[in-house]
Amino acid sequence: MGNFPRQRCIQMLLEIKNLKVSVDGNTILHGLNLNVGKGETHVLMGPNGAGKSTLVNTIMGHPEYKVDEGSIIFDGKDITHLPANERAKAGLFLSFQNPEEVPGVTLENFMRTSRMAITGKPVKLFAYKKELKEKMAELNMNDGYAERYLNVGFSGGEKKKSEILQMLMLNPKLAILDETDSGLDVDAVKIVSQGINQYKNKDNSLLIITHSAKILESLKVDYVHVLVDGKIVKTGGSELVGEIGRNGFQKIAAAAV
Amino acid sequence: MEKKKTMVKDIDRTIYDIKDKVHPSYEVKEGLTPEIVEEISKTKNDPKWMHDFRLKSLEIYNNLKVPDWGPSLDGLNMNDIVTYIRPDTPMRGNWAQVPDDIKNTFERLGIPEAERKSLAGVGAQYDSEVVYHNVREEVRRQGVVYTDMESAIRDPQYGSMVRDHFMKLVPPTDHKFAALHGAVWSGGSFVYVPPHVKVEIPLQSYFRLNAPGAGQFEHTLIILGEGADLHFIEGCSAPKYNVANLHAGCVELYVAKNAHLRYSTIENWSKNMYNLNTKRALVEEGGNMEWVSGSFGSHVSYLYPMSILNGENSRMEFTGITFAGKGQNLDTGAKVVHAAPHTYSDISTKSISKDGGTCTYRSSVVILPQAYGCKSSVNCESLMLDDRSRSDTIPVMDIQNDDVDVGHEAKIGRISDDAIFYLMSRGMSEEDARAMIVTGFAEPIAKELPVEYAVEMNNLIKLEMEGAIG
């Protein structure tokens, strides 16, 4: 599973092989395989507790998630045991489901520090501010958010927009969106979709975790994976989204066994 | 991934730690006897009332007990402390005349530069005496007096004002180290701002203790006339020695009707210092007292600036931060007495402890029976950076009438792994992520400090958090 046959020869960006992951001694992922090629958009769906967040946190390098077996190769490099910041520098980005609040650090200052850390180069202040302002406008974010403390007092929707803003400002090779659309109203979903479309080009890739088909409407989805009990049980094209909607995860999982 | 704990080093105190090889022109023997106090009084050419005041204070000192309710003072032996050390220079009004060694010390600390850029006047004390005092001409022309205490006491015009106020707010009977101060005090600044005069840019006094095993006992007396306005900045530092040093300064602030005083401090003593400082303000009707206080250094600190809200509608705000690292036990906070109706107080503090350091927040809010319609709010937050560090909160409230609005909030926290992970996922190293969170925690205080001090504070935090880098 997971290694769905590809029509054409495509360069791999993310290769996950036989990944076994535990948290506090409980195994959550039981030998998961997943390949994401350059330029591709993948969707990962699955019931609550299937291990979706475990997977994305492990890919990003959260120290609480212990890799017991298997490997994660990103852009040709084994990142299985690298700290999160090295993964970010390699071009990985995770849009958090519940991003942390950091009092005393403004969104603007945070993103500038982040860009400097990732590129290793100084950031030209004026050009940076201009770019930030433009991207905030595109996401329908009030200018004032740049000066606010990171995620402190942000509504659920503003937190998600702030994550998409960071994705746009950092322009990663692979962006993983962990339920970025959850808890958003219709208008906000539309704006976030626009942001995702603006990010996406033929070279970069997306891995989207979602419970809803709504956010996928305006995206060209290449592959859909179904994750149940720590394993990918089925992989298909975008038509799989409809099938999940009609039949539910358990039926698909049962059929796959 | 194996989780690594950040190694957090102590503050790089290089610029503070440079010890000058200065030979004092004169110093008394270590210890505390009537002979030594007589000697200090004589060498300072005290007026008789001050001579008598010193001896009386010594008597009080001998009859008071060392406080036993706070951090241990066992390492402090008064028989080892030299209470008076005169640098080998008279007070100057021009940096060019200050001896090079001493001048270079203040240059490294950025004092003359700050004076040129952003201060209305500067006083600089080295060990027991003020070596430099100057105030801008335009401020002098406003009638503002800013000079060393010794000159003020002997001044024909202001001498009696000093006598009327000196240690009246903090009497020698207040506690043992107030009595000690009364006996051996030396140096410090006197400020008088006439009624309705607004001093547009701050005055700053800087206290530098260079000699090992010495004490510094400067006295700061600030008197604001009705409707006057002043921002006063106090800075302190000392190099580290292996013997105990003692700082027992005293600050007395008189804020008249509708006057406004902002008193900002960064105390950055070395970690062999016992900092037993007493600060107190008396605020009259409609007056406004603002304290901004950063406590970074010292081995042990007892520091609780106090405000007495004596007039109706007077107010005070206290904003403070304390950072205790290895071997430090810093007991800090604030006190306020609401003695009049419709008075307002706001105490907001943050503390950071790491590497076995202890921070104790201690405060006292007293609202007297006649002080109806008062509002008081106390908010303290502590951040502990590891399991070995300690943070305690001891807020005391004594509310003696029912018509008051009093609030208290205390938070004690640690840096969450999830917050670190979030910042690391955006490219920052673990150390940088921690430093960013701690700097952010301190940001509300940094915002209140004069910009050079805010930069200094952020640098101190970054250096403290930097660990293996560089």
* CA distance, residue B422 to nearest chain A CA (Å): 7
pLDDT at position B441 is 93
Contact list in B for residue A63 (CB cut-off 8 A) is: 1-3, 417, 421
Name the residue among B1, B422, B444 with its Cβ closest to that of A100. B422
Q: Is residue B237 part of a domain?
A: yes
**DSSP letter assigned to residue A103:** E
* Cβ-defined contact of B419 to A102 (cutoff 8 Å): yes
- List all residues 6 or more positions away from B269 whose beta carbon is below 8 Å from its beta carbon: B209, B236, B237, B238, B245, B247, B275, B296, B297, B298
Structural domain for A38, as ranges:
12-101+173-256
A151 contacts B437 by C-beta, under 8 angstroms: no
Q: Is residue B453 part of a domain?
A: yes
Residue B439, Cα to own-chain centre: how many angstroms? 21
Pair type for strands B260-268 and B229-237: parallel
Does A23 contact chain B (CB < 8 Å)? Answer: no
pLDDT at position A8 is 57
Task: Count CA atoms closer than 13 A to A45's CA, side-chain side.
Answer: 28
The two three-digit tokens of residue B224, written as one number: 């604001």
Cα separation, A33 vs B426, in Å, equals 26
- List all residues 6 or more positions away from B289 whose beta carbon is below 8 Å from its beta carbon: B253, B255, B261, B263, B281, B283, B307, B314, B315, B316, B317
- Nearest CA-CA partner of B318 in B299, B301, B340, B303: B303
Mean pLDDT of chain A: 92
Residue with tokens 């950076």: B385
Does A113 contact chain B (CB < 8 Å)? Answer: yes
User: Structure pTM?
Assistant: 0.84
Q: Is residue B394 part of a domain?
A: no
Three-class HEC string of B132-162: EEEECHHHHHCCCEEEEHHHHHHCCCCHHHH
- Which burial class, exposed, middle or buried, applies to A27 when counting CB atoms under 10 A from its CB (0-12, 13-18, 19+)? middle
Q: Which stretch of DSSP H or E encloses residue B215?
A: strand B215-216
What does A181-241 look like in DSSP terms, one character per residue? Answer: TTT--HHHHHHHHHHHHHH--SS-EEEEE-S-SGGGTTS---EEEEEETTEEEEEE-THHH
Does A149 contact chain B (CB < 8 Å)? Answer: yes
In Å, how far are A10, A41, B145, B451 from B139, measured between CA atoms? Answer: 75, 68, 9, 21
Contact list in A for residue B440 (CB cut-off 8 A) is: 102-105, 149
Q: Tens digits of per-residue pLDDT, B272-293?
A: 999 999 999 999 999 999 999 9
Does A146 contact chain B (CB < 8 Å)? Answer: no
Cα separation, B156 vs B150, in Å, equals 12
What are the φ and ψ backbone dihedral angles of B262, each rounded to 5 degrees? -115, 125
The DSSP bridge partners found for residue B381 are B350, B411
> Which residues does B contribute to its contact with A (CB < 8 Å)?
1-3, 416-419, 421-430, 432-433, 436-437, 439-444
* Cβ-defined contact of B1 to A103 (cutoff 8 Å): no
Q: Is residue A38 part of a domain?
A: yes
Model confidence at A68: pLDDT above 90: yes
* Cβ-defined contact of A63 to B436 (cutoff 8 Å): no
Q: Tens digits of per-residue pLDDT, B104-146?
A: 888 888 888 888 888 888 999 998 888 899 999 999 999 999 9
Q: Tens digits of per-residue pLDDT, A187-230?
A: 889 999 999 999 999 999 999 999 888 888 888 999 999 999 99
Q: Is residue A74 part of a domain?
A: yes
Does A198 contact chain B (CB < 8 Å)? Answer: no
Pair type for strands B404-414 and B85-86: unpaired
**Identity at B6, one-letter amino acid code:** T
Spans of chain B, pLDDT less than 70: 1-14, 22, 464, 466-470
A202 contacts A120 by C-beta, under 8 angstroms: no
Contact list in A for residue B428 (CB cut-off 8 A) is: 85, 113-114, 117
* CA distance, residue A114 to nearest chain B CA (Å): 5
* Cβ-defined contact of A149 to B440 (cutoff 8 Å): yes
Runs of H (alpha helix) within A74-124: 84-90, 107-119
* Cβ-defined contact of A102 to B436 (cutoff 8 Å): yes
Does A84 contact chain B (CB < 8 Å)? Answer: yes
Minimum CA–CA partner of B418 in chain A: A100
* Average confidence (pLDDT) over A93-119: 95
Using DSSP, state whether A128 is helix, strand or coil: helix
Q: Is residue A17 part of a domain?
A: yes
Domain boundary among B266, B286, B303: B303
Domain boundary among B245, B278, B303: B303
Q: Is residue B8 part of a domain?
A: no
The DSSP bridge partners found for residue B27 are B85
Using DSSP, state whether A165 is helix, strand or coil: helix
The two three-digit tokens of residue B30, written as one number: 């270590």
* Cβ-defined contact of B1 to A117 (cutoff 8 Å): no
Name the residue among A84, A111, A113 with its Cβ closest to that of B436. A113
B58 contacts B34 by C-beta, under 8 angstroms: yes
Task: Count CA atoms closer than 13 A to B324's CA, side-chain side.
Answer: 30
* Cβ-defined contact of B418 to A117 (cutoff 8 Å): no
Q: At what angle do helices B34-43 and B48-63 cross, to 10 degrees?
A: 150
Residue B318, Cα to own-chain centre: how many angstroms? 13
In Å, how far are B8, B231, B282, B304 from B318, measured between CA atoms? Answer: 30, 14, 14, 10
The two three-digit tokens of residue B455, written as one number: 């930069």
A152 contacts A102 by C-beta, under 8 angstroms: yes
How many domains is chain B partitioned into structurally? 2
Q: Tens digits of per-residue pLDDT, A37-61?
A: 999 999 999 999 999 999 999 999 9
Q: Is residue A137 part of a domain?
A: no
How many domains is chain A partitioned into structurally? 1
- Nearest CA-CA partner of B82 in B125, B127, B52, B45: B127
* CA distance, residue A171 to nearest chain B CA (Å): 12
Using DSSP, state whether B404 is helix, strand or coil: strand
Q: Is residue A251 part of a domain?
A: yes
Structural domain for B450, as ranges:
416-470
* Cβ-defined contact of A85 to B3 (cutoff 8 Å): no
pLDDT at position B111 is 87
Q: Is residue A202 part of a domain?
A: yes
* CA distance, residue B321 to nearest chain A CA (Å): 14
- Positive or negative, the CA dihedral A245, A247, A250, A253 is negative
Q: Is residue B355 part of a domain?
A: no
Q: Is residue B338 part of a domain?
A: no
Q: Is residue B159 part of a domain?
A: yes
Residue B237, Cα to own-chain centre: how many angstroms? 10
What does B422-459 look like in DSSP terms, one character per residue? Answer: HHHTTT--HHHHHHHHHHHHHHHHHTTS-HHHHHHHHH
Cα separation, B108 vs B17, in Å, equals 11
Minimum CA–CA partner of B429 in chain A: A85
* CA distance, residue B456 to nearest chain A CA (Å): 17
pLDDT at position A214 is 82
Q: Is residue A156 part of a domain?
A: no
B285 contacts B340 by C-beta, under 8 angstroms: yes
CATH number at residue A202: 3.40.50.300
Cα separation, B397 vs B311, in Å, equals 20
Q: Same structural domain for residues B435 and B293?
A: no
Contact list in B for residue A149 (CB cut-off 8 A) is: 440
Domain boundary among B283, B303, B323: B303
pLDDT at position B33 is 94
* Cβ-defined contact of A105 to B444 (cutoff 8 Å): no
Question: Please, what's the b/e burial string for A78-95 (b: 16 or more CB within 10 A of its CB; e: otherwise)?
Answer: ebbebbbbbbbebbbbbb
Q: Is residue A140 part of a domain?
A: no
